[in-house]
Amino acid sequence: MNTITIECLRYHPESDAEPRFQSWPVPFTDDMSVLQGLQYIKDHLDGSLTFRWSCRMAICGSCGAMVNGVPRLTCETFLRDLYPGPVRIEPLNHFPIVRDLAIDQADFLGKLQSVKPYIIPDAEPQGTYLQTPEQMERYYQYSKCINCLLCYAACPQYGLNDRFTGPAALALLHRYNADSRDAGKAERMEVVNTEDGVWGCTLVGYCSEVCPKGVDPARAVNQNKIESTKDYFFRFFRK
């Protein structure tokens, strides 16, 4: 068994003037993740360390953090790959800190709500909706988003302008606009067309690089820039 040093950002807004780092030596085996290293610290070294986690299987998205400066899911990042260390763990960039590694997600949740991430039918449902495999393929990639917020931590535009709707919300907006069962596109275009919608994106693409599920939010944003342009001209000609 090897030992690696884990450095965590510590910050209690109600009592600390500014964040600081604290280090612990953590013994690990080859199958231990960064999340398990944090759990070892909490269970054996310092029970006051605060962080979020749930499934441990890269499904819930709650264990995201900056690992050596890169947005990662700590449950699928292994200590063996970071040896000999040290490993620096910080809360996700661009979000207020609630405590230590836990961030305030309220801004994202508000943006998620604004894109209406659910099917809006054009009439009262009549039985089961049917789809072809081709119809499902149009949106399936974007439906894999787990709201882990790694893309927001990677997005320089969101860091500069927190009014920007952001990659995950825009990817989920596209997921429903592309769904053949949905009739809510016109409502969502009000979000897409604004300066803080798709036009706030500067096409860095780092959001897609860090996405653990291959959602490719940058592609979704680019596709909606096309849709926004079409929507503008259609409105212009209708006048």
Long-range pairs of 223-230 with CB within 8 A, sequence gap ≥ 24: 223/174, 224/170, 224/173, 224/174, 224/177, 224/192, 224/197, 224/198, 225/198, 225/199, 225/201, 227/177, 227/189, 227/192, 228/189, 228/192, 228/193, 228/197, 228/198, 228/199
pLDDT in tens, the chain (239 residues): 899 999 999 999 999 999 999 999 999 999 999 999 999 999 999 999 999 999 999 999 999 999 999 999 999 999 999 999 899 999 999 999 999 999 999 999 999 999 999 999 887 777 788 899 999 999 999 999 999 999 999 999 999 999 999 999 999 999 999 999 999 999 999 999 999 999 999 999 999 999 999 999 999 999 999 988 887 777 766 65
User: What values do phi and psi take at 2, rounded to 5?
Assistant: -95, 170
User: Measured in whole angstroms, how far is the alpha carbon of residue 165 from the centre of its chain?
Assistant: 12
Taken in order of first residue, the domains within the chain and their CATH numbers are 2-103 (3.10.20.30), 106-238 (1.10.1060.10)
Helices (H), 121-164: 133-137, 150-154, 156-160
pLDDT given at position 236: 66
